[in-house]
Amino acid sequence: MDTYVTRTGRPLFVDLDGTLIRGDLLWESLFHFARQEPLGFWRLFGWAFQGKAVLKDELAARTTIDAATLPYRAEVVAALEAEREAGRPIVLATASNERLAHAVSDHLGLFDEVMASDRQVNLSAGAKLDRIRARCGKEGFDYFGNSHDDVCLFEAAETATVVQPDRSARRWHGGATRPARLIADQGSVLRGMIKAMRPHQWSKNVLVFVPMALNHEFLDLRMIVTALLAFVCFSLAASSVYILNDLLDLAADRRHKTKRNRPFASGLVPIPAGLGLAAGLFISSFAIATLLPWEFMGALAFYMVATTAYSFALKRMLLIDVLTLAGLYTTRIIAGGLAIQSTESFWLLAFSIFFFLSLALVKRFVEIMDFGGGANRSSTGRGYVDVDLDTVGQAGMASGFASVMVLALYIDSGEVRELYQHPYLLWPLCPLVLYIIVRIWVLARRGHMNEDPVVFIMHDWRSQIMMVLGACMFLVAAYV
């Protein structure tokens, strides 16, 4: 820490966005507002037309950001604590709105003064420099900053500390002719962007292969390629929604014991980079979808509309959220059938609705458990409270057993007797599915279910054995 202590009485001015915290409070305010008032998002254009200072002021007045959960840079905070212990006057000088700046200052207790944007002035770049010079006179100042807007302040400061610089700030630091320190994170933004895409969740999209498998089209190369393209489309589309979902859930994720480490909640990946990545994934998904039947593109479009509605509003509605999730899983199966131009049976759709509703309820059950006693709608970011735990668990188990009942009725139906030579060989499927469902719920109640239950099934070796046995039963019943 002592490395950063400057033995001088000169005031130290510290930038907030990108310097003191990993992130930008303007972008965060935008997404907080979008989550709170999705239908009022159009108002942003009117505020922006009046100027950036007005936009920041309106957003700060309408949103609440918890300063205690922001992703502070530990090394910068440690440096400021050392300077304060040495008696150095420290000023928070930021282009963020004054409401947010004072909230950060009050939380940290490190600053003697706050300079920030108000409704009239956007305190960045030259405007910030003029305010600092008026404050310091000929005394001079030191400065912590990180971006292109801070270059003029680096030039004017007696000493500059460049924190996780952007391209312009890094270029200035490389050619600086005056004292300049560098504080840079070790985290990889590229690795964070890949993590934000959640490629491990793509395993859920193998559901698009279900119609091809049930039609026994295992050796049809055209159908295999078609199903693979459908899988890629859903994977890219889903990743774009995961990113949007994370941006809308910043506040709730930062209060969660594990989700706070996600790339956006932790500040590893800048919000603008995430928006660009999401847009690229979305465009790529629909570009590939043009190679498939138009009905598939319609299903993909429905999936995107439904998931976007889920991200903005439905995920916070009691029970509507889990019913939507179950419907989205079933949509993947329907889309897989549309891609290969196959019509799915009532039995498959009924089974999938009940089965995936059970898994969606597992997900909510685990989230309520993670928040513990006293969990409420505000802390969970959902429509559930702690007393709902037993109800969610009972509904989930009942839904799982209902899916097995549908499967049993299907096995005894006339359709199965027409499709399979030995339909009685399919009966062991019922206990296999029961095993998967009950085991997941047992693990959830023990607190051992730490990931999406669908992803868990795809990666759990016991569940994989059950699925392989089930596939073998289908093959034996059909061809022996």
Residues in the chain: 480
Bridge partners, 13 (sequence order): 91, 143
Q: What is the pLDDT of residues 166-221, one digit of tens each?
A: 899 999 988 887 778 898 876 788 899 999 999 988 988 999 998 888 777 667 78
Spatial distance between the Cα atoms of 477 and 480, rounded to a whole number of angstroms:
6
Cβ atoms < 10 Å from Cβ of 71: 18
For Cα atoms 243, 362, 205, give the angle at the middle one, nearest 5 degrees: 50
- Which of 478 and 85 is assigned the larger pLDDT? 85
Percent of the chain predicted with pLDDT > 90 = 54
457: closest CA among 351, 320, 363? 363
User: What integer pLDDT is reported at residue 70 of this predicted model?
Assistant: 94
Would you tell me how many other CB atoms lie within 10 Å of the CB of residue 464? 12
Which token pair is 127?
Answer: 């405007």
Measured from the Cβ of residue 72, the count of other Cβ atoms closer than 10 Å reads 18
Burial code (b: 16+ CB inside 10 Å, e: under 16) for 336-357 equals bbbbbeeebbebbebbbbbbbb
Cα 417 from chain centroid?
A: 45
Whether 343 has a pLDDT exceeding 80, the answer reads no
Percent of residues, the chain, with pLDDT higher than 70? 95
Q: Is 42 exposed, middle or buried (0-12, 13-18, 19+ CB in 10 A)?
A: exposed
Residues contacting 233, CB < 8 A, separation 6+: 285, 286, 288, 289, 292, 296, 300
Lowest mean pLDDT, pick from 83-87, 161-165, 185-189, 327-331: 185-189
Calpha distance 160→153 (Å, rounded): 8
Tell me the pLDDT band of 136, cut-offs 50, 70 and 90.
confident
In this structure, what token pair is assigned to residue 432?
């296999």
The single residue listed with the structure tokens 């049930």 is 214
**Pair 316, 188: CB distance under 8 Å:** no
Confidence (pTM): 0.82
Check: CB of residue 127 under 8 Å from CB of residue 121.
yes
**H/E element holding 162?**
strand 159-163
415 Cβ partners below 8 Å, 6+ apart?
345, 347
pLDDT band at residue 2 under the 50/70/90 scheme? very low
Per-residue pLDDT, 381: 61
Query: How distant, in Å, are the alpha carbons of 216, 355, 388, 447 from that of 213?
Result: 5, 18, 38, 34
Contact of 328 with 306, CB cutoff 8 Å: yes
Letter for the amino acid at 466? M
- The SS3 assignment for 67 reads helix
Which pLDDT value is given to residue 8?
Answer: 59
More confident residue, 267 or 176: 267
In angstroms, the CA 208 to CA 180 distance is 55
pLDDT digits (tens, 9 = 90+) for 227-255: 999 999 999 999 999 999 899 888 888 88
Order the strands of the 142-145 sheet from edge to edge: 113-117, 90-97, 12-14, 142-145, 159-163, 180-183
If one counts every other C-beta atom within 10 angstroms of the C-beta of residue 298, the result is 13
Which of 148-162, 285-299, 415-429 is the least confident region?
A: 415-429
* DSSP assignment string, 208-239: GGHHHHHTT-TT-HHHHHHHHHHHHHHHHHHH
DSSP symbols for 322-348: HHHHHHHHHHHHHHHHHHTT-PPPHHH
Residue 92: both structure tokens together: 């928070």
Strand partners for 163: 183
CB 295 within 8 A of CB 101: no
CB 412 within 8 A of CB 427: no
Is 21 strand, coil or helix? strand
Query: What is the rounded distance in angstroms from the CA atom of residue 376 to the CA atom of residue 364?
Result: 13
